[in-house]
């Protein structure tokens, strides 16, 4: 098996991971490396392997199954670790099943589809604010505010608190983006928890038609979410309802601008928007690597000995461009029909918020392209900057011209 050079933290990889992932997939489908300079880790890159391991019961999502409390604190680094890991994303059955069932009671497809008109209004209002501008940063002015407004309204965050909510939610997102200002992050997280606790108590006393009220009231067999579970679930919904969609809109629009024939096809054939969003999810991968799994026992893969407790990372980005699964995977094709991408994961941990992200993406792209048909990049492609992250893949900014 040929050894492939791989540096997760290099600018070269962060800016364009696909050539490296292609080599890994071809020559070294299981690659040993180090995360945060302290863990033996394994990167898996072939679609069939990634899908199989998503379902493998020899792997765990629950960090407490493989770590002591001290190791857990070292891994997460922030003081409020329970805020992050007491949700369904970091649980195995039966806890995962119980938590997901309670959230599904609130996060229904009918509820999400009912948001269509409101999301269209938010998108239109944001685009109207851009009408007088010739050049904008699409991330700051459109891709980021749209999902944060949507999720804050869904959660019942008062309008007066929205700006502060965005600051806090961005800080929460930075937990996954490897921020180095841990003290500042701890301060923001503590403020956010205190704020959410007040809202939770208000909803207990006076429920409203929002997600927080729904989660406070949800129960199974007479049992509600615990305080830790409730706070952690809100953390998960904020990240899932914000970061992934921001990156879908930003990464996807950049891909369309880099493939003007596809952009023009979508502008003249808006009926392709659903397949276009699925293709942009596959091609641009808002989530670079899936959430971690840990080995519950010693196991062997491609002749490599994985020890109990070691970290296994499943590369969604590599799997979504595997030629064994996708025809011409390096080609962006907004009319692609056979598209079994795993941008939202696979199996029991498939993202519960996927329908919302899809809906927001469909509305965001359609509205933007129709409102500004002559949209163009306002910077050389080589000047595009990507945020460094172990999990998410997103842009720092996206300068665009809205018209001549």
For 224-247, write each residue's pLDDT tens digit: 888 899 999 988 888 776 888 999
**Residue 319: inside a domain, yes or no?**
yes
> Closest Cα to residue 153, out of 85, 72, 220, 212?
212
Asked if residues 150 and 122 have their Cβ atoms less than 8 Å apart, the reply is yes
> Closest Cα to residue 247, out of 316, 164, 159?
316
User: How many helices and strands (H and E) does the chain possess?
Assistant: 19, 12
pLDDT above 90 for 130: yes
Structure tokens at 401: 């011209």
pLDDT in tens, 85-111: 888 988 999 999 998 988 888 888 888
d(CA 97, CA 4) in angstroms, rounded, equals 39
β-pair partners for 219: 224
Selection from 129-143, 152-166, 226-240, 277-291 with the highest mean pLDDT: 129-143
DSSP 3-state assignment of 383? Answer: helix
**Residue 3: inside a domain, yes or no?**
no
pLDDT above 60 for 37: no
Which pLDDT value is given to residue 174?
A: 64
For residue 350, the enclosing domain spans 11-401
CATH number of the CATH domain containing 294: 1.10.630.10
d(CA 189, CA 162) in angstroms, rounded, equals 16
DSSP 3-state assignment of 350? Answer: coil
Number of domains forming the structure of the chain: 1
pLDDT above 60 for 205: yes
Q: Which residue has the higher pLDDT, 297 or 104?
A: 297
Structure tokens at 123: 């998108």
d(CA 388, CA 157) in angstroms, rounded, equals 29
- The C-alpha R_g of the chain, in whole angstroms, comes to 21
Taking every pair of C-alpha atoms in the chain, what is the biggest distance, in angstroms? 62
CA separation, residue 270 to residues 134, 159, 180, 372, 376 (Å): 24, 33, 42, 14, 18
**How many C-beta atoms lie closer than 10 Å to residue 73's C-beta?**
13
**Residue 1: inside a domain, yes or no?**
no
β-pair partners for 30: 44
**Residue-averaged pLDDT of the chain:** 89
**Residue 349: inside a domain, yes or no?**
yes
Q: 174-201 burial string, b = 16+ CB within 10 Å, else e?
A: bbbeebeeeeebeebbeebbeebeebbe
**Residue 368: inside a domain, yes or no?**
yes
Asked if residues 96 and 116 have their Cβ atoms less than 8 Å apart, the reply is no
Chain-centroid distance, C-alpha 64: 23
Q: Which residues contact 285 (CB under 8 A, 6 or more apart)?
A: 251, 316, 317, 320, 343, 393
β-pair partners for 313: 43
pLDDT above 70 for 325: yes
d(CA 173, CA 286) in angstroms, rounded, equals 13
Q: Which residues contact 143 (CB under 8 A, 6 or more apart)?
A: 246, 249, 250, 253, 364, 398
**Residue 2: inside a domain, yes or no?**
no
d(CA 277, CA 283) in angstroms, rounded, equals 10
**Residue 308: inside a domain, yes or no?**
yes
Which pLDDT value is given to residue 349?
A: 87
Asked if residues 250 and 137 have their Cβ atoms less than 8 Å apart, the reply is no
DSSP string, 279-311: HHHHHH-SBSSPPPEEESS-EEETTEEEPTT-E
Burial class (CB in 10 A: 0-12, 13-18, 19+), 142: buried
- By DSSP bridging, strand 39-44 and strand 311-314 are parallel
**Residue 4: inside a domain, yes or no?**
no
Structure tokens at 274: 């659903």
Give 367's pLDDT tier (boundaries 50, 70, 90).
very high
Which pLDDT value is given to residue 397?
A: 95
d(CA 146, CA 361) in angstroms, rounded, equals 10
Which pLDDT value is given to residue 11?
A: 83
């Amino acid at each position: 098996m040929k050894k492939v050079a791989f540096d997760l933290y290099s600018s070269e990889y962060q800016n364009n991971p696909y050539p490296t992932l292609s080599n890994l997939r071809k020559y070294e489908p299981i690659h040993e490396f180090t995360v945060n300079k302290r863990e033996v880790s394994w990167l898996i890159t072939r679609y069939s392997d990634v899908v199989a391991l998503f379902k493998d019961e020899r792997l765990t999502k629950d960090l407490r199954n493989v770590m002591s409390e001290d190791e857990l604190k070292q891994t997460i680094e922030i003081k409020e670790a329970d805020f992050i890991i007491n949700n369904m994303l970091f649980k195995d059955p039966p806890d995962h099943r119980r938590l997901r069932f309670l959230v599904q009671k609130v996060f229904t497809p009918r509820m999400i589809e009912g948001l269509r008109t409101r999301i269209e209004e938010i998108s239109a209002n944001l685009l109207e604010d851009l009408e007088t501008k010739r050049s904008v940063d699409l991330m700051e002015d459109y891709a980021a505010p749209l999902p944060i407004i949507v999720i804050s309204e869904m959660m019942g965050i008062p309008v007066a608190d929205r700006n502060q909510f965005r600051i806090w939610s961005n800080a929460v997102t930075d937990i996954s983006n490897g921020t180095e200002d841990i003290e500042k992050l701890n301060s923001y997280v503590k403020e956010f928890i205190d704020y959410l606790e007040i809202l939770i108590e208000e909803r207990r006393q006076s429920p409203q038609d929002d997600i927080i009220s729904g989660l406070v009231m949800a129960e199974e067999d007479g049992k509600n979410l615990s305080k830790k579970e409730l706070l952690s679930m809100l953390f998960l919904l904020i990240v899932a309802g914000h970061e992934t969609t921001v990156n879908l809109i930003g990464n996807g629009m950049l891909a369309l601008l880099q493939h003007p024939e596809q952009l023009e096809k979508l502008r003249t054939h808006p009926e392709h928007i659903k397949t276009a969003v699925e293709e942009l999810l596959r091609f641009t991968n808002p989530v670079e690597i899936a959430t971690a799994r840990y080995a519950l026992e010693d196991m062997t893969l491609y002749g490599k000995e994985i020890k109990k407790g070691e970290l296994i990372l499943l590369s969604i980005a590599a799997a979504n461009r595997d030629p064994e699964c996708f025809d011409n995977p390096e080609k962006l094709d907004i009319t692609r029909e056979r598209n079994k991408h795993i941008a939202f994961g696979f199996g029991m941990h498939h993202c519960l918020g996927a329908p919302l992200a899809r809906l927001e993406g469909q509305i965001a792209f359609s509205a933007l392209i129709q409102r500004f048909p002559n949209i163009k990049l306002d910077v050389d492609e080589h000047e595009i900057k990507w945020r460094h992250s172990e999990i998410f893949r997103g842009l720092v900014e996206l300068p665009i011209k809205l018209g001549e």
